[in-house]
Amino acid sequence: MPEDVLRGIFKAYDIRGICPDELSPSAARGIGHAFAEWSAAKQIVMGRDMRPSGVFLADAFAEGVLAAGVDVIDIGLASTDLLYFASGHLDMPGAMLTASHNPAAYNGIKLCGPRAAPVGADSGLAEIAVRSTRGARSPVGGGRRGRGDLLDTFAAHVRSFVDVASLAPLRVVADTANGMGGYVLPAVFEPLPLDWELMYGELDGTFPNHPADPIQPENLSDLSERVLSTGADVGLAFDGDADRVFLVDERGRAVSGSLLTALVAQAMLRRSGPGPILHNLICSRAVPEAITEAGGQPLRTRVGHSYIKSEMARTGAAFGGEHSGHYYFADNFGADSGLIAALIALEQLSTVSVPLSELLAPLDRYASSGEINTPVADIDEVVGRVSEHFSGLAQDRLDGLTVDGGDWWFNLRPSNTEPLLRLNLEAPDTAAVNERVSEIRPLLA
C-alpha cells in the first residue's frame, strides 16, 4: 500500500476509503497492529457493520492486533453505539469497521480508547497513522481472538435512559436503510409498549433501497410517505452504522438535528439538574436558548465527536448534541447514540397530548439555509476574502469562520475529506436567509 494512499484514508475523526483500492486488507492489518501498539492494551473489542467487505477487513484488522500480542474480543455485527458501549462496559479500547453513511464501495474504521474515549486526529489518530505506515514489523504473536455478545445488555442500557412505564403506545415507523439499525433497534424496542414498524430492516451493505444518509432530504421520502399513509406519530431515520438518527413528524416533515438536540437537552436537564450542556457551533441559536431556559449552561464546541467527547469529559456535561444528528450522553461513557436520543424523544412525546410538530413548535424559531457545499481551489484564500467582506461584524475562528450579524449568523467550514467549504446560515425568516446567502455566494467563486 503506497504511503500517500494509506495516509489519505486517515481523516479527522476516523479512517475511511474505497475498499479494497484504498482501504485494503493489508492496510487494515497494519492499522490493527499500529492501534494495538499505540493503545498498550491487553485486549481490544471489535465490531463491524453489514458491508460485505467488513468480513475480510475485520479478519485482517484482528490479525494485526493479534500479531502485536493483544487479544481481540469480537462482538461481530454491531452498530457503532453498540461498539462504544462495549468499549465502556468492558473498559477496553475498541474498533468499529464501518463507513457509516458512505456508499457501498467504502469502508472504514472508527477507533476509541477504553471506556469509549475519543481517538481523533488530535487524540491519537495521527500517531496511529504514522505507526501504520512503517511497513512490516516482526510479529510478537500470542494474541487470541474470542467472541462476545452484548446486544441484550446494550438494549437494556439504552432503555435505562427513559421511564419505560411512561411510554405511550405511539405508532412509530423506523427506516434503518438496510443498515445496522435493523439489528439493534428490534432488541431495544421489542419489550416496549410501542406500535412500531421497521422499514428496510434487512442487513444489506449494498443499500438497495436508498443511501443510508438521513441528513439528505431525498433519503427521507420513503419514511415520510409511510408515516403519512399509516397515520404514525413519528418516523425515525438511522444512518448505516445507526449512531445517528433524524426524526420525521406526523405531517411527514423532517425534524432538524438542532430541534432534537434542544428537545433532548431540556429532557436531560430535567433528569440531571442544572449544569453544562454542549452544542456544536452549527446548531441553531434555538439550542442554547432552550438550554438556558431549562436552567442549563450552553457551551459551544467545534464540530466532531472527538472534540465533543473531550469537552464532555472536561466540563462534566450531561449531554451534547450536533446538528448532524449525533447525540452524546455522559451516562453512555460520553459516547453518542441515536437510539438513546430517539427513546428520549418518544418519552417526551408520550407525556404530552399534542403531536410532535406541536411539541417542537416552541423550539422552531429561525430559518436556516441547510448545509451549502461549494468546491473551492484555495480554501484559505476564500475564507480570508469572506472574513474581510464582513470585517465590521463579530467573528471567531473556533471551527472555520463564524460571523455574527446580530439577528443572523453563518459558519463557513472546510470539509475534512474534500476541497469544499460548507456554509450554514441562520436568520429570522426564509427571505432573510435567501438575501444573506445571495450576498455570500459570489464571495465563494
The span from the CA of 51 to the CA of 23, in Å, is: 13
CB atoms within 10 A of CB 361: 12
| Cell numbers for 159 | 432503555
pLDDT for 138 equals: 62
pLDDT for 247 equals: 98
pLDDT at 417 over 80: no
Parallel, antiparallel or unpaired: strands 297-301 and 276-280: parallel
pLDDT for 2 equals: 66
Task: Kindly report whether the global pTM for this prediction surpasses the value 0.85.
Answer: yes
Q: How confident is the model at residue 136 (pLDDT cuts 50, 70, 90)?
A: low
Mean pLDDT of the 148-158 span: 98
pLDDT for 426 equals: 98
Paired residues of 217 in beta bridges: none
The active-site residue, picked from 24, 39, 53, 100, is 100
Burial 105-132, CB ≥16 within 10 A → b, else e? ebbbbbbbbbbbbbbbbebbbeebbebb
100 is catalytic: yes
Burial of 336 (0-12, 13-18, 19+ CB in 10 A): buried
pLDDT at 183 over 80: yes
Helix, strand or coil, per DSSP, at residue 271: helix
Q: What is the pLDDT of residues 4-55, one digit of tens each?
A: 777 789 998 899 999 999 999 999 999 999 999 999 999 999 999 999 999 9
In percent, the amount of the chain with pLDDT more than 70 equals 98
Cis peptide before 186 (omega within 30 of 0): no
Phi and psi of 399, rounded to 5°? -155, 100
For 190, 220, 365, the CA distances from 234, given in Å and listed in that order, are 17, 13, 21
Q: What is the pLDDT of residues 391-416, one digit of tens each?
A: 999 999 999 999 999 999 999 999 87
Residues 6+ apart with CB under 8 A from 6: 27, 30, 129, 132, 133
Q: What is the pLDDT of residues 299-346, one digit of tens each?
A: 999 998 888 998 999 999 999 999 999 999 999 999 999 999 999 999
DSSP letter string over 148-209? ---HHHHHHHHHTTS-GGG----EEEEE-TTSTHHHHHHHHHTTSS-EEEEES-S--TT-SS
Parallel, antiparallel or unpaired: strands 401-404 and 409-414: antiparallel
**Which helix (H) or strand (E) is 6 found in, with range?**
helix 3-8
Continuous H helices in 211-276 = 221-230, 257-272
For 26, 44, 55, 418, the CA distances from 35, given in Å and listed in that order, are 14, 9, 19, 25
Q: What is the pLDDT of residues 243-252, one digit of tens each?
A: 999 999 999 9
Q: What is the pLDDT of residues 185-229, one digit of tens each?
A: 999 999 999 999 999 999 999 999 999 999 999 999 999 999 999
Q: Please give the DSSP secondary-structure letter assigned to residue 241.
A: T
Sign of the CA dihedral with 325 first, then 240, 271, and 311 last? negative
Do residues 44 and 69 touch, judged by C-beta distance below 8 A?
A: no
Listed residue (283, 289, 298, 260) closest to 402, CA to CA: 283
Listed residue (309, 342, 388, 354) closest to 115, CA to CA: 309
pLDDT for 140 equals: 81
- Give the distance, in angstroms, between the CA of residue 381 and the centroid of all CA atoms in the same chain: 30
Mean pLDDT of the 285-291 span: 98
For 187, 321, 401, 410, 414, the CA distances from 279, given in Å and listed in that order, are 29, 5, 17, 16, 19
Q: How confident is the model at residue 137 (pLDDT cuts 50, 70, 90)?
A: low
Of residues 355 and 139, more confidence is placed in: 355
Mean pLDDT of the 265-287 span: 97
Continuous H helices in 72-125 = 80-90
Residues 6+ apart with CB under 8 A from 53: 19, 20, 107, 205
Paired residues of 274 in beta bridges: none
